[in-house]
Structure 1
Amino acid sequence: MKAYFVQIKCELGKAYQVATAIADAEIASEIYSTSGNYDLLAKFYLEPEADIGHFVNEKLHKIKGIKDTYTIITFRAF
């Protein structure tokens, strides 16, 4: 499995609803609230051959209240 992190910017006042929707969809291994430019940080594990672009577009962007995302692709865990 390969780890990806996605920073999520939510519509104003929607961070908790978005976090709950992601958790209910059971697609993320961890979800954190954050400060700064983004409201949430979610960690996803996908099979190495999976396309992260399709995953984000098909699974994450359909969740109401998400305004913007920034995907971080990881290479190696230490």
Structure 2
Amino acid sequence: MQTIFVQFKCRPGRAYAVADGLVEAIEEVSEVYSTSGHYDLIAKFYLPDERDIGHFVTERLQTLDGVADTFTTVAFKAFGRG
């Protein structure tokens, strides 16, 4: 399983609609948060190992209505208690 985080810059007034669209339309999404700073949202996705991250981001995420820009981070290892 691949874990990626994608930050979204949304068109003005569209951040909540983009967040709703991610939750409704993208089954690979785990969590979506609104954020401050250069990007409006950050979302965590789990993709199967054979899934091409580039195609997923450009074809499924960047094409959502209201998305102006994205920034993708690939996660390698999760650290935590337990």
- Report if TM-score (shorter chain) is over 0.5: yes
Letter in 1 for 2:2: K
Superposed displacement of residue 35, structure 1: 0.2
Q: CA RMSD in A?
A: 0.9
Gaps of at least 5 residues in structure 1 are none
Residue in structure 1 matched with residue 2 of structure 2 by the alignment: 2
Q: How does 1:1-78 map to 2 (within 5 A)?
A: 1-25=1-25, 26-78=27-79
Gaps of at least 5 residues in structure 2 are none
**Secondary structure at the residue paired with 2:22?**
helix
Which is higher, the Rg of structure 1 or of structure 2?
2
4+ aligned runs moved over 4 Å, structure 1: none
Aligned residues: 78
TM-superposition CA deviations, 1:4-59 (whole Å, max 9, x none): 00000000110000000111113311000000000000000001121110001111
TM-score normalised by L of structure 2: 0.90
Percent sequence identity over aligned pairs: 56
